[in-house]
Structure 1
Amino acid sequence: MSATSQSTHPAEAAHPSDGTPPRPRIGIAGIAIESSTFTPYRSGADDFEVRRGTAAILDRYPFFSGAEDRGSSPGPAAPSGIGGGPSASGRALREAAEYAGVLHARALPGGQLARDVYEGWKQEIVEGLAAAHAEAPLDGFFFDIHGAMSVEGLEDAEGDLLTAIRGAIGPDVVVGTAMDLHGNVSHTLFEGCDLLTCYRHAPHIDAWETRERGLRDLVEAAARVRDGGALPHKALVHVPILLPGEKTSTRIEPARTIYGGIPAITQRGGITDISYWIGFAWADQPRCQAAIVAFGDDEAAVQEAALELAGTVWQARHDFEFVAPTGTFEECLDQAIASEARPFWISDSGDNPGAGGADDTTYCLARLAAREEIRSGAVSALMVALVDPDTTDAAWQAGVGGRLEVQVGARIDARDPGPVPLRVEVAALDESGPTGRAAALRVLDGESPTGLTVVVTGRRSQWARHEMFERLGLSMTGFDVVTVKMGYLEPDQYDAAADWLLALTPGGVDQDLVRLGHSRIQRPMIPFDAEIPAPSAADVLAGGGRARR
């Protein structure tokens, strides 16, 4: 929307006097976070970047504004995905509708969201949309979410939020959403949305492309329905498979072929979009499972395509493997030290903050600090990063070059071995990024430096980009061994690593799902059960296809 159109009264924008077709009026709001129910961390308001009002919310979309917003960014402003710039299609989409932004909150993945924070934002969204709808009726609503938010005391947070929104805007407003493929599609969410789509890549290099596609389909559908046309037909098929993203990367088979085949399906007559949600593995809720959703103008084609893709996923149910070789951390460290590949990266996958881990377990740190090759300095190693405000503040008080005794980590997730006692020298300090204060600490053996450097931060963060390291004078390729709190490596990391292993470490996002203790998911379900039934026509939940009142 141009500055001029932003200042135009909504009723005037919706009904221009020059004879051109009126633009549909689209509300936008959402809360976006991926939440593990197995981590002790609780997400609160301070973890989020919150935008209010139309201008601020529209500026978040790079296809409108050109703002860079890469998915591995640290801190609260960090959805998955790679940023981009404005495009001709994006500019056309911005002018194609009158937008009414209310509130959007987003955060790095974490734990369950505090109920009072959620309820406050829900009330603000509902009241804001009700006011916008009363000022000039909304034709559509874009529900901008991740899809795996957990809130204390709720089984289906996005479903709860959308139900409240529908109560404010009514049943006739066309609702669309564009989600992370690691989100969940409950029956409530499916029934409340008219159009649903999700990413087609992991890592999520198409995050903004997906939002642009979802918003464009919504604008077109809202205009059509407002003028008396019918809603798209839609179909949902659940497949009881629950897998970590590290087993479903589109860099490898079978996900590469499954997702690679989606564009061809969308080219069939009568089908607008089809998506495959892997689901979110680290929440213990009935909605957590794989889902296929298709929508388009041909009811039979939509249902057939959804069942077909569900069958493709079912056929591959035993073929999903980890994106990299795996092992215990000890096994991975043995291989890394013995290898000639430098740098050799190891993912501390069980405490990946990008999936909701606490970001402060010390299982790997303790073993790095005890390893003789690293203690002697024969092997240089970097552990990045643990959230530890107390140690970070102590490092800032000591200053660069200062030496001090610290207890690192395990302030949130205190599982064995707990805080690690270290004598360290402050190598570098930085507070220019959304991690808050950060410190690079060189570990000492007495007064002599070892080969280990550990990064601590004031905020939970995910160190996936070159500039994150460079702010502390570090390099992604400057150490023999780099241990990072990640699952699969993001693009900068993947390019930097000469070799890589995925360590199956303990934590709130443990890759070994069976040992986490799910008790409320649907059964049977892979990998908790050896087999599941094939999807059938009886599993298809259909909807849409009618004109609004």
Structure 2
Amino acid sequence: MTQPRIAIVGMAIESSAYAAHRAGYRDFPVLTGAELIARYDFLAPGRPLADAAEWIPVFMARAIPGGAVLREVYDDFKGRIVEGLREAGDVDGVYFDIHGAMSVVGLDDAEGDLVTAVREVVGPDALIAAPMDLHGNMSETLALALDLPTCYRLAPHEDAWETKERSAERLVEWIRRGEKPSTAWVRVPILLPGEKTSTRVEPARSLYAQLEDVEKKPGISDLGLWIGYAWADEPRCHATVMVTGDDEAVITAEAERIAGELWDARDDFAFVGPPGSLDEAVDAALAHGAAGGEKPYLISDSGDNPGAGGSGDVTWTLTRLLADERLTGDGAPLVYVASIFDQGAIEQLFAQEPGEQVDVVAGARVDHRVSEPIRIRGELVSLHEGDPAAGRIAVIGVGGIRAIVTEFRKAYHDVADFHAIGLDPEAADIVVTKIGYLEPTLYDVAKGWTLALTPGPVDQDLERLGHSRIVRPMFPYDAFDERPDLSAAVIRGRRYVRGFAGTASA
């Protein structure tokens, strides 16, 4: 067989329906050509996959999570993808690099719309593989268009690049076989936040740990368990199991078994970290320090986590911390608070010098449904430039608090983010950051932790947000008198051969 031709395209973001933020051009770094190939280490010269196919880098745009994408931005990027595929000519496959929970203003199923446009260009015979986040939502349109869907198996997503490489390997394998796999697909009526489904703890740990061994069974090529994305509000929001392979009996049995295990464990899912209110979190952190506990104590400001779709400028938590005299008075512990963004406030702060007293109103310019802009009066500790995400950064000291204000949205999810602005997390008594479960480097340094259940666009209290468009009944919103139908639909050649045919899109 001649070397297969595989196009690389993608657009990825995780979008909260409850975030006032709208993702625009600045949110999406764009990669094409050699830069796009370089994104994937497994396509580096000398790597087996690099020589296994002719990889055609068309277009990739990826943003950190946030709100829905502006329609004009999506339409532009979709047009570039379509035109790039046309220029590429005939291809044997498409590596469709997406997240799975992108929302676009005015669209219900953004990835379904995008993959439909891709399929129209490349035709029915090209294979489409999609490496996805396990927090993706699988619509019927997307499921029918994909030949090889797969997803991460760890949350936090420490296997993201391993999954992307596995997806590319499977795509090359099936193209060389000259065949298309079948897929067994089960919708599971469960919708839970990621902080209750982390693979660091049970039951998700065991559910996902088995997948690698199951994948080795004869007749199975790949399998994915999507726990779904809880902060969207669309009919496609639910958990999903999909198993691909060439033995329909085997893939069906395994898809139904895994879906059943997920359903049976539904009541066992709990927060990955000790949860509590913000007041309880601060009390616990101060008690930890008073008892001689090691530094730092981490507090997750989970309701406005940019890593899950938060707007990133909700001031609810900072307002309460600045009002707490235990943190701002004499002898206060050292507390890093990350972060809020406000371009206007940054302009004002950069007109002053470190060491000067500042008085600035910041935050809640984008998302003021939960809280209002906050007045910060204190010492300008430091100024920083050059962060590709945050732009310019200012640190303001108020008693023991070091409040971080950025020009643009920034997720402080790595110790390196703090070190870059002269703040050592291990020197702080308390680190408060907009995050849910702790990403690896923060997890490693934390000597105590509370997952603060704060309000915001990614509120852990899903019922407080008020989903209205998900398909009901859905756990945990509804009680189930009996087990739901967890039988698998089987897709062969992008057509149902059993199940779901004729049902409404979900």
* Both proteins in one fold, TM over 0.5: yes
Which residue in 2 is equivalent to 1:25? 5
1:112 is the counterpart of 2:68: yes
- Superposed, 1:349-368 pairs within 5 Å as 349-368=302-321
1:177 pairs with one of 118, 130, 152? 130
Which residue in 2 is equivalent to 1:9? none
1:532 shift after superposition: 7.2
1:459 is the counterpart of 2:408: yes
Which residue in 1 is equivalent to 2:190? 241
Q: Do the aligned partners of 1:182 and 1:245 also contact (CA within 8 Å) in 2? A: yes
Q: Do the aligned partners of 2:345 and 2:362 also contact (CA within 8 Å) in 1? A: yes
Amino acid corresponding to residue 30 of structure 1 in structure 2: G
Which residue in 2 is equivalent to 1:332? 281
1:309 is the counterpart of 2:258: yes
Which residue in 1 is equivalent to 2:18? 38
1:127 is the counterpart of 2:88: no
1:540 is the counterpart of 2:478: no
Q: Find the aligned partners of 1:393 and 1:187 in 2 and give their Cα distance.
A: 47
1:442 is the counterpart of 2:408: no
1:497 shift after superposition: 1.0
Calculate the TM-score normalised by the size of structure 2. 0.94
1:290 shift after superposition: 0.3
1:162 shift after superposition: 0.5
Which residue in 1 is equivalent to 2:376? 422
1:546 shift after superposition: 9.3
- Superposed, 1:71-110 pairs within 5 Å as 91-110=47-66
Which residue in 2 is equivalent to 1:161? 114
- What root-mean-square deviation, in Å, do the aligned CA atoms of Structure 1 and Structure 2 show? 1.5
Query: CA offsets per residue over residues 433-481 of structure 1, 9 Å max, x none?
Result: 22211111112xxxxxx11110011111111222211121101112211
Q: Do the aligned partners of 2:147 and 2:494 also contact (CA within 8 Å) in 1? A: no
Amino acid corresponding to residue 72 of structure 2 in structure 1: D
1:499 is the counterpart of 2:479: no
Query: CA offsets per residue over residues 473-525 of structure 1, 9 Å max, x none?
Result: 10111221111000000011111111000011110000100110100101111
Query: CA offsets per residue over residues 44-71 of structure 1, 9 Å max, x none?
Result: 1111110123x22111112334xxxxxx
1:56 pairs with one of 7, 17, 35? 35
- The alignment partner of 2:427 has SS state of coil
Calculate the TM-score normalised by the size of structure 1. 0.87
1:268 shift after superposition: 1.0
- The alignment partner of 1:101 has SS state of strand
Q: Do the aligned partners of 2:370 and 2:455 also contact (CA within 8 Å) in 1? A: no
Amino acid corresponding to residue 369 of structure 1 in structure 2: L
Q: Find the aligned partners of 2:369 and 2:285 in 1 and give their Cα distance.
A: 25
1:263 pairs with one of 199, 212, 228? 212
1:323 pairs with one of 250, 272, 285? 272
Which residue in 2 is equivalent to 1:512? 461
Structure 2 alignment gaps of length 5 or more:
496-506
Structure 1 alignment gaps of length 5 or more:
1-20, 66-85, 444-449
Q: Do the aligned partners of 1:237 and 1:292 also contact (CA within 8 Å) in 2? A: yes
Q: Do the aligned partners of 2:128 and 2:171 also contact (CA within 8 Å) in 1? A: yes
1:297 is the counterpart of 2:251: no
- Superposed, 1:143-158 pairs within 5 Å as 143-158=96-111
Q: Do the aligned partners of 1:307 and 1:535 also contact (CA within 8 Å) in 2? A: no
Query: CA offsets per residue over residues 403-454 of structure 1, 9 Å max, x none?
Result: 21111211111134411112122111211322211111112xxxxxx11110
Q: Find the aligned partners of 2:49 and 2:42 in 1 and give their Cα distance.
A: 9
Q: Identify the range of structure 1 (405-414 vs 281-290) with the bigger mean alpha-carbon deviation.
A: 405-414
Query: CA offsets per residue over residues 124-151 of structure 1, 9 Å max, x none?
Result: 1112112212xxx200111100110000
Q: Do the aligned partners of 2:332 and 2:400 also contact (CA within 8 Å) in 1? A: yes
Which residue in 2 is equivalent to 1:481? 430
Q: Do the aligned partners of 1:524 and 1:532 also contact (CA within 8 Å) in 2? A: no
